[in-house]
Structure formats: C-alpha cells, structure tokens
C-alpha cells in the first residue's frame, strides 16, 4: 500500500509538471509584459490548461492516474524535442516567469498585511487538510460528479435523482484533477483554493490598473479576500468562487486597457482573446457569467472607443495575420479550446436531454425555447429568463433584508444574508460614495458593477441563497476604500481609517473560522484520524453518523443501493477513497426489490424519502422481501 501511495504521488507530480510546463510555454507566447497582469495571467493559464486537459482525457476515458502520468511523460518528451529543435531550450528561462520579488519596502502597514495573509492561509490549509467536504450542494451533486468520474475513469452524465448534477461542471474539472491521482478526496478542496488565489491575483491587478501603489493594491486585495462569503468558498467546493476569479481577471485586463491604453508588448487582439477565454471558462462553470457581463462589455467598448476608434480593424488584422506562424497557431488553438470549454456541457445536455440548459427551462419573454419540465425541482429552481418582477423582488430582499446579515452566523449557504462582512459596510460603503463623486474612472466601474448586479437580479430566482452569485461585487468596496485613504491629506485620519479597516478585516476572519457547520467534536475527531481515513461519512454533524454506520455494515465489495427523492446526500457513501459503488434505486412501486435482485444489489440506503416511498418499503418488509437493519438501511432477505 505504501509503495502504491508513493507511486500515485509521483504520478501526481508528473501530471502537475506537465501542465505547468505547458502553461509556462503558453505564457511566454501570450504574456502581457505587465507584471501585475502577468501574475494573474499565469494563474489563469494554469487553471485553464489543467481544466482542458482533465476534460479531454475524461471524455476519452483515460481518467486514471497511471494513464495520465504516461500521457504527461509523452507530452514532456515531445515538448523537450520541440524546444530543442526550434527554441534551443526545453524549459523557460527564469527571467520569463512572472514572479519577481523586487522593490519590497518593509513598513508597519505592510507587516500587518502579511500577518493577515498568513493567518488566512493557515485557516484555509487547516480546512483543506483536516475537514472533509460537508457543504450541502457539494455533497448532494457537485462532488457526486467528481466521485463518479474518478471511480469510472471517464466523464459522462451521471445517473442520479438530483437533476442539478447536469448543470455545467467546468469547476469540478479542477477538483477531479486533485483527486484522480490519489483516488481520494483528501485534496479535493485544493481546486477551489486555486480559484481563490486567482481571485486575489486578479483583484490586485485590477487595483494596480488604476496606477495605485503596490502597498495600496495589496491592501485592497487583502480586504477583499477576507470577505466572509468569498473566504468560505475558498474551501467549500462550491463553484461561485470560480466565477469571481474569471470575472475579475477579465476586468483587470480591460480596465488596464481603458486607463493605460496601448502597450507595445500586449496587443489588442491578445487582450480580447484572453478575455474571451476567461468568459468561456466562466460560462462552462455557471451560466450566470452571461448575466453579469455588462461590466466587462461596457469597459471593453469604452476602451476600444477611446484608444482605437477608426483603426480597430486594421490593428487586429496587422497583429494577428502578420505574426509568426507558431503564434497564429497558438491563438487559433486557444480560441477553439475556449469555445470547447464553454460549450461542452450545453452541447452534451442538448444531445442527451434536448435542452442545453437542462434542468432549467429557457425562455425569451413568455415564449418557451427549451424545456424539460424539471425547472422546479427543489425549491423555486432557476428562472431561465429575465423578469422585472424578479428584479423587484431581489432588490427588495437585498436592500431591506439581506444587507443586514441578521439571519445567523456566516455559512456556505449564505441563507438570507449578503455575507459581505464588516469591512465592506463599515469602510467600503462610505468610500463608494466618495469614489462616485470624485474618482472619474472608478465612478464608471462602480456604475458598471451596479448594472451587472441589476442584470443578475433580473435573471435569477428569489431564493434564500441568491447572494452566492455576488462574490465578485465586494471588490469595488476595497478598491474605493484604498482610493479614499490614498487621497487623504491628513495622516492621522488615514491612520484611523486603516486601523478600523484592519479591525473589521480581523472580525471577518474570526467569523469564518468554523462557520458553524462542523461541530467541535467532529473537528477534533478529524484531527486525530490518519489523513487518508478522513471522510464525510465520519461526520456526525449531519444525519447522526448514518453514513458511517452504513459503510461499517455493508461489505466493501457490495454495491450500495440509494434511494432519495431529489435532494439527498450521496457523496459520503463513496467513502474517502471512492472505493464504494453506488446505484440509485427509484422506488415507484413494489417491484423495486426485484430490480435490486436483477442488478445484484443487496443493500438499500434510505435518505429523505417521501411518504409514498416509505409505504412501499414497509410493504416490502411485511411481505418478507426486505429486512430492516437500521432506520436508514435495509437489505434483501
């Protein structure tokens, strides 16, 4: 077992070396030569390449650590041969990598920012290493995709009563990457953490585009990253942090274009290509990327009008079609791959279900374009079209209810709250008023953000959790605040405001240390267990340890039949190493026991069933075809 684990770790290193080398080579071709953009750009390319690589090998049925390692080794050899043949160097020179530590100035404020960054990093590492996934949506359907794909070694439409499993899943690709090598969920939270880091790098680049100092840009990034709703999602395995990352990455490029204009080493067509790639990845993560596209689209139009005007078409043609052939081929590859990443899930759903946005009905006005009859599955569902009534309801809920964050402690659900925390309201809100009056370009960005928020509210359904779609918005609070303190003439007043901001940021950190979803006893239990034995099934915070009891009773080689109507936990039954096989058993009549026998399923796990299903199960028990082992577990007689 030890040798197998070491082999898998080695294969994981090989796979990550390969995607890193590919990312560096692409970076050398499409880099901006603007340091603060290049840092975010490299992070984006790494996530993009890894997601694309995982999707391709998953579609081909090669999603297995040994196969990935072999493909990666072949890729590294080809890369080395190509580099020696054409570039004379198989690896990038150090000076071409965008990570430079220069002109660092140590100040008390800088030290405090470093301490804040460190304590947030420690909190996240503890959550990644010690706490298995526990967030409702993730264990109901997000990570069910991950477990099934890793277990079956391919990407395919998973059969489950939870129709939301068929929503776009590009975010899950990065989670698959960090679980496929160990065939274990231990590192599954590294995926959302990398998107969180990209969010921070993009926020830093966005602030630097306004030509603020490095220390002010870093402080805005820290203040924003401590937003409770965003900080929770760094380890929650929910996909909204991915939208925040690609949204701010796109805006960082476009705002720099608007404010700083043309750059010799960063032509217009490359900027547009990178923004297009980011938006396509975002669409592949969640469709609401399109609902909040007003801000990047508006900034892009203003930038093009300001700096290019008449010669726009000539500029694009001269830069692309008069470039070296290798550069042209790379641009074409990136364009096609972005289209693929953005459209794959929708095309699959169109083919399988006849509706590209299954299970949500798609309408234009009152006219149904695509529908499968499953738009309302759990709660109100998602609307699939814009609505003035929906906009009014969401704005009313936001302004008169959620904004006060009174519904309870911060959690991954953001139920009936904004989750924006102390800093954004105490420091950011007054700063936004200042920026709207006195800061020209920031005024335009704030208005664009508000329009994006209004567009979002018009499209999404009013439910208790809709503020999870707004993780990108609080960056405007941090940006406005650093503008305010940068322009203050009185040092004593600046010091007071910075002190208040630091206190509020620390309060945000304290608020998300546990978020109330994991009991102290469960946390202590996880810390005492060996890393590879930590599993969601071991948690007793939900369902009183029913999953752990089921896995203890059912032999490892038995398929577990699972029954729940449409919104039950399934992920814990795969166990930590995804070794348990699961098959869903629909119970609509008494013949379900015959179906179990035909499929070789001896055990049936019952969770959140309805009254009709409960009567059928009790009838099977009375007839003698089924016996009760626990309240949640039955077996064929």
pLDDT of 85:
56
Contacts of 401 (CB under 8 A, 6+ apart): 416
Residue-wise pLDDT for 405-425, tens only, equals 888 888 888 888 999 999 999
For residues 84 and 97, give the distance between their C-alpha atoms in angstroms, rounded to a whole number.
19
pLDDT of 358:
85
pLDDT of 170:
97
Structure tokens, 124: 């996240």
Cα separation values, 633 from 556, 601, 617, Å: 15, 13, 11
Residue 168 CA to chain centroid, in angstroms?
12
pLDDT of 234:
95
Contacts of 552 (CB under 8 A, 6+ apart): none
CB 92 within 8 A of CB 25: yes
pLDDT of 80:
85
pLDDT of 376:
45
For residues 124 and 594, give the distance between their C-alpha atoms in angstroms, rounded to a whole number.
47
The domain spans of the chain are: 520-636
For the chain, the distance separating the N- and C-terminal CA atoms, rounded to the nearest angstrom, is 36
DSSP state of 64: S
For residues 405 and 158, give the distance between their C-alpha atoms in angstroms, rounded to a whole number.
37
Which residue, among 565, 421, 583, has the nearest Cα to 504 in the 3D structure?
421
**106-118: string of b/e by CB count within 10 Å (b at 16+)?**
eeebeebbeebbe
Structure tokens, 334: 């990136």
Residues in the chain, pLDDT under 70: 84-105, 309-324, 365, 372-381
pLDDT of 223:
97
User: What residues does 560 pair with on adjacent strands?
Assistant: 582, 603
pLDDT of 317:
54
Q: How many CB atoms lie within 10 A of CB 635?
A: 17
**Cis peptide leading into residue 484 (ω within 30°):** no
Which residue, among 384, 387, 390, 386, has the nearest Cα to 361 in the 3D structure?
384
Residue-wise pLDDT for 498-521, tens only, equals 999 999 999 999 999 987 788 888
pLDDT of 370:
76
pLDDT of 373:
55
Q: How many CB atoms lie within 10 A of CB 338?
A: 22
Contacts of 14 (CB under 8 A, 6+ apart): 69, 72, 73, 76
Contacts of 426 (CB under 8 A, 6+ apart): 500, 504
Q: Nearest 5°: phi and psi at 591?
A: -75, 0
Which residue, among 157, 162, 132, has the nearest Cα to 608 in the 3D structure?
162
pTM: predicted TM-score of the whole model, two decimal places: 0.94
């Amino acid at each position: 077992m030890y040798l197998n684990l070491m082999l898998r770790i080695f294969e994981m290193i090989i796979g990550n070396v390969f995607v890193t080398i590919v990312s560096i080579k692409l970076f050398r071709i499409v880099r901006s030569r603007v340091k603060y953009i290049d840092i975010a750009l490299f992070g984006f390319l790494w996530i993009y390449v890894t997601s694309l690589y995982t999707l391709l090998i998953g579609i081909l049925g090669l999603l297995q650590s040994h196969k990935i390692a072999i493909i990666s080794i072949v890729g590294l050899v080809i890369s080395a041969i190509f580099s020696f043949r054409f570039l004379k160097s198989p690896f990038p020179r150090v000076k071409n990598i965008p990570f430079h530590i220069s002109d660092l100035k140590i100040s008390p404020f800088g030290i405090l920012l470093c301490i804040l960054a460190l304590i947030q990093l420690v909190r996240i590492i503890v959550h990644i290493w010690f706490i298995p996934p526990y967030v409702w949506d993730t264990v109901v359907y997000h990570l069910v995709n991950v477990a099934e794909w890793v277990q079956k070694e391919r990407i395919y439409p998973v059969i489950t009563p939870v129709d939301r499993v068929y929503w776009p899943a590009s975010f899950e690709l990065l989670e698959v990457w960090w679980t496929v090598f160990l065939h274990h969920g231990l590192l599954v939270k590294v995926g959302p953490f990398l998107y969180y880091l990209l969010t921070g790098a993009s926020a830093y680049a966005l602030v630097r585009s306004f030509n603020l100092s490095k220390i002010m840009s870093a402080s805005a990034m820290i203040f924003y990253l401590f937003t409770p709703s965003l900080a929770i999602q760094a380890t929650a395995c929910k996909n909204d942090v991915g939208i925040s990352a690609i949204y701010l990455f796109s805006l960082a490029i476009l705002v720099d274009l608007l404010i700083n204009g043309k750059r010799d080493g960063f032509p217009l067509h490359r900027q547009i290509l990178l923004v297009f790639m980011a938006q396509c990845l975002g669409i592949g993560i969640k469709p609401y990327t399109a609902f909040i596209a007003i801000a990047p689209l508006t900034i892009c139009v203003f930038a093009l009008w300001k700096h290019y005007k008449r010669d726009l078409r000539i500029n694009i043609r001269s830069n692309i079609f008069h470039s070296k052939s290798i550069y042209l081929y790379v641009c074409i590859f990136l364009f096609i791959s972005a289209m693929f990443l953005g459209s794959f899930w929708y095309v699959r759903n169109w083919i399988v279900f006849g509706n590209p946005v299954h299970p949500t009905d798609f309408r234009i006005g009152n006219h149904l374009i695509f529908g499968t009859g499953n738009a309302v599955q759990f709660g109100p569902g998602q609307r699939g079209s814009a609505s003035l009534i929906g906009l009014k309801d969401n704005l009313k809920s936001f302004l008169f209810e959620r904004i006060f964050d009174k519904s309870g402690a911060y959690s991954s659900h953001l139920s009936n709250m904004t989750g924006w925390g102390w800093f954004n309201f105490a420091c950011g809100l007054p700063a936004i008023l200042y920026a709207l009056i006195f800061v020209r370009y920031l005024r335009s960005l704030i208005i664009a953000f508000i329009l994006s928020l209004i567009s979002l509210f018009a499209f999404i359904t009013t439910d208790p959790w809709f503020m999870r779609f707004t993780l990108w918005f609080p960056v405007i609070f941090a940006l406005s605040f650093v503008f305010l303190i940068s322009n203050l003439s009185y040092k004593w007043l600046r010091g007071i405001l910075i002190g208040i901001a630091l206190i509020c940021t620390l309060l945000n950190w304290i608020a998300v240390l546990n978020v109330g979803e994991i009991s102290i006893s469960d946390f202590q239990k996880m810390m005492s267990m060996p890393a590879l034995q930590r599993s969601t099934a071991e948690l007793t915070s939900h369902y009183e340890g029913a999953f752990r009891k089921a896995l203890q009773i059912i032999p490892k080689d038995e398929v577990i039949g699972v029954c729940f109507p449409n919104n039950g936990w399934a992920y814990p039954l795969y166990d930590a190493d995804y070794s348990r096989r699961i098959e869903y058993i629909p119970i609509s009549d008494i013949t379900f026991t015959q179906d179990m026998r035909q499929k070789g399923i001896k055990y049936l796990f019952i969770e959140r069933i309805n009254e009709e299903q409960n009567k059928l199960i009790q009838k099977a028990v009375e007839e003698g075809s089924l016996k009760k082992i626990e309240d949640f577990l039955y077996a064929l007689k």
